[in-house]
Amino acid sequence: MQLRVELGIIQMQVDGRPDGTLPCGFGSLLEYHQQRLARHNERNGTPLGYAVQPRECEALRLEASLYYRRYVGFFVLEEFDGVVRDTIHSLKIFDLCRDYAMEPEDGTALEEFRPYVLMMHARGQAFQAIGEGQPDSALAHVNRGILAIKSHLEQAGPPDALEFCDEIALLRTLSGELDGQMPGNSILVTRKALRAAIEQEHFEEAARLRDQLRNLYPPTP
């Protein structure tokens, strides 16, 4: 894949790590740390005590930036399976640093970008489902993405983060666009999302889903 930027062209591999390297002999740094963590668990019976050094966190952040460039390229090319795959990779890097970084600042350094990656993941899944003729599944992916972003911001964001979250606004717009494409069984999909929103106490989102559910019912004669 080639991506034109202001000062030239970035060339990326479409599979494996975007720069084509094999860090520490593995397909990615994430894979290396996953294997190292697994060995730690086997030896100790617990992940407690596993730590990612600051320089390792910096290298993981660089890897996440490589995958970001590629999944944005995949999205523009409408290669949504690549978007889904690479956003999963990025989110796993975020989780690894959050859970195991030795220094607190390394554990939180990527968290401000989590809503964006969750949004891109949900959009990738949704457009993939639309391409497969499954608009009901697309709506479910969008609703799950909204709830995932809300949960993250409630735990880690500033008090007014939900009010000004562009990622939630974009997914809500996409959800509204999908309403007109829904088959009858989408009522079940929306009901399931409504139950999840209530269980997680996302009452504003639950109200939106109730309105969406009303629109899905056919008018009475």
Q: What is the pLDDT along the chain (221 residues), one digit of tens a residue?
A: 887 777 788 889 999 999 999 999 999 999 999 999 999 999 999 999 999 999 999 999 999 999 999 999 999 999 999 999 999 999 999 999 999 999 999 999 999 999 999 999 999 999 999 888 888 889 889 999 999 999 999 888 777 777 889 999 999 999 888 866 655 445 566 666 777 778 777 777 777 777 766 665 444 43
Say which residues have a Cβ less than 8 Å from residue 64's Cβ, sequence separation at least 6: 90, 93, 94, 110
- Give the type of residue at 50: Y
pTM metric for this prediction: 0.80
CA distance 105 to 92: 18
Q: Where along the chain do its domains lie?
A: 27-109, 110-221
CB 167 within 8 A of CB 149: yes
How does 124-147 read in b/e, with b if 16+ C-beta sit within 10 Å?
Answer: bbbbbbbeeeebbbbbbbbbbbbb
pLDDT at 219: 45
Single-letter code of the amino acid located at 114: R
